[in-house]
């Protein structure tokens, strides 16, 4: 259907932008971060890399979920079909894993900010250990049985899932959005750091202002006394 094609074109563009934005965020974290907040970049890189993987896998799989009674059907529309549907399902499972870990990472980022308000900043090694233990729950949730509950992570997806599951309202858009809609978060996530993390905000503003300053100034051609306008 043309609606499916249009939907996946739009989602594909969002996925590509999400990958690029998170890649830029990783670059900023590695090479443009002031020394005083270097420890915090460990969390930024962890979240940006996770979101980057989620967006790539969503683009690669393009999963459509069709609730039917107490079962769920999966239709893969992405490039993974060239390898095989079993590989598509494994990739879908891995994407769900990254989405879950991304949510845990967000919680950890907020907890870190609260922690440093009251106590000294922890060492990078300590933060890596905490990240490892944060990763364990999402690693264990790779089990396929968790996939049916995954849409309940976000309110919009919950509503769509309930409407589909109980036969209240069913549409191809809902079936496509149930899984791919979760990957909108990696698209918006980098903007949090770009706009609310002052060092990165200054870098972006500096880059934009530098490009504006490089534009050739218009000049008057009225004579030797011409001046820029």
Alpha helices in the chain (DSSP H): 2-31, 41-61, 85-118, 124-140, 155-165, 172-180, 184-196, 198-213
The pairing of beta strand 71-76 with beta strand 63-68: antiparallel
- Single pTM value for the model: 0.62
pLDDT in tens, 175-217: 777 666 666 666 766 776 676 666 777 777 777 777 776 665 4
Q: Name the 3-class secondary structure at 65.
A: strand
What domains appear along the chain, each with residue ranges and CATH number? 2-203 (1.20.1070.10)
Give the model confidence (pLDDT) of 89-142 as tens digits.
Answer: 888 888 888 888 888 888 787 777 777 777 777 777 777 777 776 666 655 444
Are 95 and 57 spatial neighbours (Cβ–Cβ below 8 Å)? yes
Burial label for 118, CB within 10 Å (0-12, 13-18, 19+), is exposed
Are 168 and 162 within 8 A, CB to CB? yes
The SS3 of residue 75 is: strand
The tally of CA atoms less than 13 A away on the side-chain side of residue 72 is: 21
6-50 pLDDT, tens per residue? 888 888 888 899 899 999 989 988 888 777 777 778 888 888 899
Tokens 């670059």, located at residue: 27
Q: Which residues of 187-213 are buried (b: 16+ CB within 10 A; e: fewer)?
A: bebbeebbeebebbeeeeeeeeeeeee
Q: What is the dihedral of CA 27, 30, 35, 36, to 10 degrees?
A: 80
* Separation between Cα atoms, residue 166 and residue 174, nearest integer Å: 13
């Amino acid at each position: 259907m043309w609606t499916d094609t249009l939907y996946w074109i739009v989602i594909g563009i969002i996925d590509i932008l999400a990958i690029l934005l998170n890649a830029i965020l990783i670059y900023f974290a590695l090479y443009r971060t002031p020394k005083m907040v270097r420890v915090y970049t460990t969390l930024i890189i962890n979240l940006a890399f996770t979101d980057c993987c989620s967006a790539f896998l969503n683009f690669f799989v393009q999963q459509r979920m069709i609730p039917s009674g107490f079962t769920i059907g999966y239709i893969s529309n992405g490039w993974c079909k060239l390898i095989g549907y079993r590989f598509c399902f494994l990739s879908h499972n891995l994407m769900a894993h990254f989405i879950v870990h991304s949510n845990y990472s967000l919680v950890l980022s907020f907890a870190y900010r609260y922690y440093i308000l009251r106590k000294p900043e922890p060492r990078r090694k300590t933060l890596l250990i905490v990240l490892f233990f944060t990763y364990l729950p999402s690693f264990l949730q790779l089990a396929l049985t968790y996939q049916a509950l995954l849409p309940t992570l976000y309110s919009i997806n919950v509503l769509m899932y309930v409407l589909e599951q109980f036969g209240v309202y069913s549409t191809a858009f809902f079936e496509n959005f149930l899984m791919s809609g979760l990957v909108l978060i990696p698209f918006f996530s980098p903007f949090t750091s770009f706009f609310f993390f002052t060092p990165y905000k200054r870098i972006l503003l500096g880059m934009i202002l530098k490009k504006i300053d490089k534009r050739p100034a218009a000049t008057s051609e009225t004579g030797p006394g011409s001046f820029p306008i």
